[in-house]
Chain A
């Protein structure tokens, strides 16, 4: 019964401001990570604090659109997970609020620089580097050499063996495109994409589909975030993960508090909790092999060691902006996707 009354009290809040302080122990949580991770975060936060969590899982693009639509009447409190670009965009549009967490000194530099580039309206919670994985059985069966660099994928012997997502529909693939432009320069980056196009057997819709296909033996090499490839390897599929030798781009999974949140105090509690080692260690329970932003959090043995990967200085501000995004995607559409394969 207590739960019923507190829930009701929570919904009253929005309308009777005088009651806000007294009864607020509810949190509306927008989650853009994988479903089981979202569930685990919500339940664990409830256990840790006794605050009722109402979780909605949607992709980061959808959540961003929803927050924008609700901006005059925000229904959500905190937005956790999903690639950093939409979080930065929300910060740019003032849809999320500034908050400096006391947990900050425990975080990796990349997480803090993510916050600083957005005027403290967002923060990094995990990061994942781009790379690719290949099916060892298929590679051997086809007598193919083991690739180690991005440029290796252009070799003609890999024709019809490479799979990546369509940058128009997948954030992962857009990160790939932007990374190539940053690694090789725009001209050569697009030449790389054109060369890759000749070897690609399918542009999938979803970002992680290429490595899943590789796991099942339906594809040889999949360009994905490395943690997705690790997940397949851990599930028992014959997949090997490669950190390309030229260096690679990465994403920073982010978290923001929604501006005008009805339950601001709870949102801040969640924010601080989500940056703690306890919360970040939960990732391993659901096979999420991203690198946590808290320096003290555990990393899986199977996870790629970020210190050995050559990370480029990814310009999130520039390549996350919608103008640059539109320009690159249009160029890809016109110059690359129409070429015969």
Chain B
């Protein structure tokens, strides 16, 4: 025992991860259990020798799955580091070697060997037929993989990266690993799927044939026939972007620069897009303006005209998306319009500009970045929207729904879905990129720290009247549509039998009280509780991942930080249908085999909503002075303790906001969800779409109305807890994504 006398005990974190690695390897079932993660039946059923439940060590001892054997060496290596001081270069090297070898080998074997033996022909050519196979990783595999990852990060920290801060290095490593696994890997997998031929080979010509398809890029609409989905999507998105921006500006002007009395009511509009389940707007529009819609029939009777199906197609989708996304533009523009410094406008007026001149030459140009930002958000939202085109699209094909039908219809063409998804991703990423590069963060500027006292001048009258007219007209229309939603949930059979009834609520949500307790007999309870459960599991995880990422981005500097930020924000720009398709392609085969489980839903929500947590965290963390951390660190706390004891408590509003937001988003999401639900884990939105397909509009609308009220309660609770200011800030980042 020739150790240096000043040797301190090995760091507890190191001991923890070494033990975790061994436990994962020797005690826990290595592979995915067929009965799900929460079933513990394996404990009494042949464990630890049965091949299905055996830990890796037992498998090897029985001569099975020998490719797992090299991991023992990687697990043993850090044991030698335990004896060494942290400053010893060997300590760092051992940990890095162990972590990199173990993690690398795990990944290599995971991708190399699948359910049919070797996954690659060259492996088979080299080693011959394997004669064995493996399924997806389970508890054991996952925990051992995490152990290797964190041994690696501890090694890197010991070499002095980021001042040797283990917590920060591990957090960076962890975030990179999960974002790679659940964002980049599936997207990459999807890109490859676009090149696969029918018999499994890769070919460029397959991609070309699918890419240059007339259904995608055709310009027939110029000659009276139909245009390709890509043009349709692009055209629609540009229109929606423009219209929502103009309407949003009108609302923002009314709220900030007019004497209008009911501003609060108008502000309440902003919460609508967050709590509205998909399709309901579309359904309400059909009930109002469809061929047999209330207004259509009324107008036709009045003027003696023939009702038409004008709603189905581009006009309907345009109206529905404008209704849905105007509040988002409004949210963005309120901040911008308020942010225009009154002192500038006052200066202009002092120089004897009249109100109209001031508005045109000072206020409006200052709003330009905000207008561009609102346009791009509307553009991305429209591109990604799935529910409205599904219900109202008619013959007007757009990319997001085409992707869905390429996978679920009789065509069942994953390659086509992948190609369509690439085109859609290209559009949204371009807009996202333009937004970041061209506008930077200008658009989110609210009131600056300088002396901005003063009052915004009112709009010139020539402007005020049309702006008020447009804004109030649209607000009234929105109110009518939402009123129709509630009315639609209490009529027997819309258009056929308009008598009032609560029967849809009873069918969906009836309960029976029996001796054994409450029996949830309603048809909707199953999906309702699944939704609540999944949303409740996903929300804290989303908030955690988001806030840790925000902490790293605001408080730490490290090489590749910009790329890191871009990577974590990327899923913001990826439409849900693309996520859905790529998750199916990536996660129905080992090493991560989770399709058909509840886990895949939780994971998809975490990564779809993570950017919101990140943004909320960044916003509040940049308000906390860095000297707080520094004093905590000077007093001897490490960065984990600082994060937990100093920063987290100060972030409570941001945490709450991220929690509620991700909870609510998880309840209204549809586009990714529809690919990922299974009979066992059905979500509210996919249940609703099933009802819509069955012509059961009453039940669908009643269910949606219930969801609206549930979410309204959640948001209201949050407002009550943290106050309006935080809400405004939260939603202005959060609302920018579609379901």
Contact = CB atoms under 8 A, between A and B. Distances in A.
Interface of A: 4-5, 7-8, 11-12, 15, 35, 55-57, 59, 61-62, 64-65, 72-73, 138, 142, 160, 168-171, 174, 201-203, 205-206, 209, 212, 215-219, 232, 235-238, 333, 337-341
Interface centre among B218, B291, B690, B694 (most CB of A within 10 A): B291
B223 interface: yes
18 contacts: A7-B41, A8-B35, A8-B41, A12-B52, A15-B52, A73-B115, A138-B292, A142-B306, A168-B410, A206-B409, A206-B693, A216-B495, A218-B312, A235-B695, A237-B695, A338-B214, A338-B220, A338-B225
Contacts of A206: 409, 693
B35 A7 contact: yes
A337 to B, nearest CB: 8
A338 B395 CA distance: 12
Contact of B410 (A171, A209, A238): A171
B339 interface: no
Contacts of B697: 216
Interface stretch (B43-51, B83-91, B252-260): B43-51
A337 B495 CA distance: 33
Contacts of B268: none
Nearest to B133: A73
Interface string B287-308: 0001110000000000000101
A41 B30 CA distance: 36
B556 interface: no
Given A72-B116, A202-B312, A170 B495 contact: no
Contacts of A35: 690
Interface string B405-430: 10011111000000000000000000
A338 to B, nearest CB: 5
B496 A61 contact: no
A4 B410 contact: no
Given A218-B292, A341-B225, A238 B309 contact: no
Contacts of B34: 11
A62 B408 contact: yes
Given A12-B52, A15-B51, A236-B493, A212 B695 contact: yes
Contacts of A4: 41
A212 B695 CA distance: 6
A11 B135 CA distance: 14
Contacts of B52: 11-12, 15
B224 interface: yes
A216 B214 CA distance: 33
Given A12-B50, A65-B412, A341-B224, A218 B395 contact: no
Given A62-B408, A236-B497, A340-B224, A12 B46 contact: yes
Contacts of A168: 409-411
Given A56-B679, A217-B291, A238 B405 contact: no
A73 B309 contact: no
Given A218-B286, A236-B497, 17 more contacts: A12-B50, A73-B115, A73-B133, A142-B306, A168-B411, A169-B405, A169-B409, A169-B411, A202-B395, A205-B401, A209-B693, A217-B291, A217-B495, A217-B496, A337-B225, A338-B214, A340-B225
A4 B45 CA distance: 10
Contacts of B678: 56
Nearest to A86: B410
B409 A61 contact: yes
Contacts of A65: 412
B412 A218 contact: no
Interface string B144-165: 0000000000000000000000
B457 interface: no
B223 A218 contact: no
B292 A174 contact: no
Nearest to B692: A212
Contact of A219 (B218, B291, B411): B291
A304 to B, nearest CB: 20
B116 A73 contact: yes
Contacts of A160: 308-309
Given A11-B52, A72-B116, A217-B292, A59 B306 contact: no
A205 B409 contact: yes
Contacts of A218: 286, 290-292, 309, 312
B394 interface: yes
Return the 9 tightest CB-CB contacts between A and B, nearest first: A217-B292, A340-B224, A169-B409, A212-B695, A61-B412, A218-B291, A8-B45, A202-B394, A61-B410
